Amino acid sequence: MTGLDELFPDAAERPGVALPAAPQAEPRGSRRLGIFALALGLFAIVCQLGAVLTGVAVFVAILGSLGAGSGADGLDWVVAYELDSAILGLLLGIGAVVFGVLAARRHHGRRLGVAGAILGGSALAVDLVIGVLLVVGLTS
């Protein structure tokens, strides 16, 4: 018995102040969703890069053939490839953004998913620029 027991007789009966529990880290899931989003984003960028380079090649070929008077014959397959590449890049970019957001939201490869969403968004921006340039070029 100490002298404090006389001053505070019921202090020993009260439980101490409970500290709040430490926050638990959320369980990490598989990183496959984030890796998939990053792969889609990379493929989308590659497709858009192919579309841009093909568009530049077509533009240079048309300018060169106009001076020779031969026209733009024989470039139909190149234009079709450019269109297919742009459409595929658009679809892959949309998929990369969707799966990247899902991966970030569900903690399944969050950093990889964010990177995939950024790459997919960049591919969508490139596709938008290509579309605007095509519309401006076709209407003028």
Per the model's pLDDT, the better-predicted residue between 136 and 73 turns out to be 136
CB 139 within 8 A of CB 64: no
Sequence length of the chain is 140
Element (H, E) at 84: helix 76-106
Q: How confident is the model at residue 37 (pLDDT cuts 50, 70, 90)?
A: very high
Tokens 């590449």 belong to 85
Cα 129 → chain centroid: 17
**Could you state, in order of their start, the residue ranges of all structural domains in the chain?**
31-135
* Residue 96: per-residue pLDDT: 93
Q: Under the phi-then-psi rule, with left for phi > 0, alpha for psi from -120 to 50, and beta for the rest, what region is 46?
A: alpha
* Residue 97: per-residue pLDDT: 94
As a whole number of angstroms, the distance between CA 9 and CA 134 comes to 87
Provide, rounded to the nearest whole percent, the portion of the chain with pLDDT above 90: 28
Q: How far apart, in Å, are the Cα atoms of 30 and each of 42, 58, 92, 99, 103?
A: 20, 44, 22, 14, 10
The mean per-residue pLDDT over the stretch 134-139 comes to 70
Tens-digit pLDDT profile for residues 78-106: 677 777 888 888 899 999 999 999 999 98
As a whole number of angstroms, the distance between CA 66 and CA 58 comes to 12
* Residue 9: per-residue pLDDT: 62
* Residue 44: per-residue pLDDT: 92
Tens-digit pLDDT profile for residues 40-51: 999 999 988 888
